Amino acid sequence: MMYAPRDLAAADPAQRKATIAYMKSVVDLTIGLGGEIVTLVPCTVGKLHPTASPQQEWEWVVQGVREVALFAAEKGIRVALEPLNRFETYLITNVSQALQLIEEVKAPNLGVAFDPFHMNIEEPDLIAALRKCGDKLFDFHLGDNNRLAPGDGILEWPLIIQALREIGYTGGLAHEAVPPIDRSPRNAFGAKQMEPEPWDVDEGTLRFLKDHSSSVINEGYYTSLLARSAETILPLIK
C-alpha cells in the first residue's frame, strides 16, 4: 500500500528513491507468492495537496513508474496503475490520465487497474471508461458504488461484464469490498462486523482502513460479502 511516506511525486528525492525501492520489494514479494500483477498508485493514498509544480511532479512520476515497470518486466511481472477518486488523490483520478502516463512511460508491461467504485465517482460514463482501457486493462476490482459487494449498490453489473467481454479482458476479478462500519447502537457499534482483536494486521493497514470508515472485518461478515459477489457475478460470466 502507498501509505506515507511512500510517494513517487514527493519533492524529496530520498523519499522518491525509497518509494521505488519499496515497489521493487513488492515485485519480489509478488514473485515469491506466485503472483503475476502488482497494482500501483503513484503517490501517497490520502495526499490531496501537491508539493511541486504539475510539470515537475509528472516528470518524477514518469521516471519512478518507468524504473519500477522495467524492473518488473525483467522478472515477468505486469504493473497496473490504479486511478483513485479525488478524495484520495489529486494525481491520477481517471482512465485518460492513467493511459497518458502509460504512453509516456513506454513499458509494455504497464497497464490499468480499474476500480468501479473510484471510477463511478470520476468518470462521466463508467462503461465508456472501461472500454477505453482496451487491451491495457490488466486488473479489475469487484466492488459496488458504496464499496459493498456487487449487487448491494447501484452499478449495472451486466453492462460492466459485457464491456469486459467486448474488450477481450480475461484477467482476474479481484473482490475488494471495503464496507463502512456501523458504529451506532443498531449494530452494537460494529460488533457484528469487526474482528475484535486484529492482532495480525500492521498498524499502517489498520489506520488506512479506519481512515476509510472501515476496519478489519470478521470472517463471517466478509464471507457473506464474498457470497453476495458470487451470487451477482457468477451468472454473468458463465
Residue 87, pLDDT score: 95
Mean model confidence pLDDT for the chain: 94
85-126: pLDDT as tens digits: 999 999 999 999 999 999 999 999 999 999 999 999 999 999
DSSP-assigned beta bridge partners for residue 80: 39, 111
- The answer to whether residue 27 sits within a structural domain is yes
Q: Which helix (H) or strand (E) holds 174?
A: strand 173-175
User: Which has the minimum average pLDDT: 40-49, 57-66, 213-222?
Assistant: 213-222
- The answer to whether residue 238 sits within a structural domain is no
- pLDDT (average), residues 61-68: 99
Q: Answer whether residue 152 shows pLDDT above 70.
A: yes
Tell me the residue range of the domain where 129 lies: 13-175
CA–CA distance, 222 with 117 (Å, rounded to integer): 18
Q: Model confidence at 188, in pLDDT bands (50, 70, 90)?
A: low
- pLDDT (average), residues 153-164: 99
CA–CA distance, 160 with 88 (Å, rounded to integer): 24
166-176: pLDDT as tens digits: 999 999 999 99
Give catalytic residues, as residue numbers.
Answer: 82, 176
Residue 215, pLDDT score: 80
Q: Model confidence at 30, in pLDDT bands (50, 70, 90)?
A: very high
- The answer to whether residue 168 sits within a structural domain is yes
39-53: pLDDT as tens digits: 999 999 999 999 999
- The answer to whether residue 188 sits within a structural domain is no
- The answer to whether residue 99 sits within a structural domain is yes
- pLDDT (average), residues 50-61: 97
Q: Answer whether residue 212 shows pLDDT above 80.
A: no
- The answer to whether residue 141 sits within a structural domain is yes
- pLDDT (average), residues 192-196: 80
- The answer to whether residue 185 sits within a structural domain is no
The 3 state secondary structure assigned to 78-145 is EEEECCCCCCCCCCCCCHHHHHHHHHHHCCCCEEEEECHHHHHHHCCCHHHHHHHHHHHEEEEEECCC
- The answer to whether residue 83 sits within a structural domain is yes
Residue 103, pLDDT score: 99
CA–CA distance, 179 with 95 (Å, rounded to integer): 24
Query: How is residue 194 annotated by DSSP?
Result: B
Q: What is the CATH number of the domain that holds 117?
A: 3.20.20.150
Total domains present in the chain: 1
- pLDDT (average), residues 183-205: 76
Q: Model confidence at 190, in pLDDT bands (50, 70, 90)?
A: confident
CA–CA distance, 117 with 152 (Å, rounded to integer): 12
